[in-house]
Structure 1
C-alpha cells in the first residue's frame, strides 16, 4: 500500500510540474503513454485520471490537440477493456468500469 501511495504522489507531482510549466508536453505524454502500456489495475486507471485532472486542459491545447485527445481516449479504452473490472494491486474493491466513466466525463470537460 505504501508503494502505491508513493507512486500516486509521484504521478501527481509530474502532472503538477506540467501544469506549472516546469516540464514540457512531450514528457507528460510519454508518462501517460507508459501508464497506458503498463495498465493492469484499477489503481493505474485512477493514476491516469488524477494526472489528467491535475494537468488540466493545457494537456490538449496544441495544434494537434484534438487528434491527440482522440488517440489517447482510443488507447485508454482499448487498454482498460483488457483490465478485469475488479483488478486491484492493493486488494481494494473498486470498479474499473466506474472509474472509466468518471475519466470520460473528465476528458469531455477539457474540450476546447
Structure 2
C-alpha cells in the first residue's frame, strides 16, 4: 500500500489543472469555469495561480483560445501568467499573425 504525502493545496492544484485540461477544447468556457469555481471552494488563491499559469503556458495555442481567455479573467490570475510563459519557454506573448 502506498502512502499519499500530498497536502490539500497540492491536491487542489492537481484537481484544478486536470479540470482545465478536460475542458480545454470546449467550444464555450461556461462548464469549465463552473467546475473550477466548485472545485476551488473558496480557495481563490490556488484557482488564480493555476488559471494564470495555465493561461500563460497555452496563450499562443489557437485551439484553446476559448479556454485561455476566460482563465485570464479569474481574479488574481494575471499575476501568474508570466510564470506560465516561462514554463512554456517564452518571455513575452507572441503576436498573432496578420490576416491575409
TM-score computed with the length of structure 1 as normaliser:
0.41
Larger Rg: 2
Question: RCO (CA 8 Å, sep 6+): is it higher in 1 or 2?
Answer: 1
TM-score, normalization: structure 2?
0.44
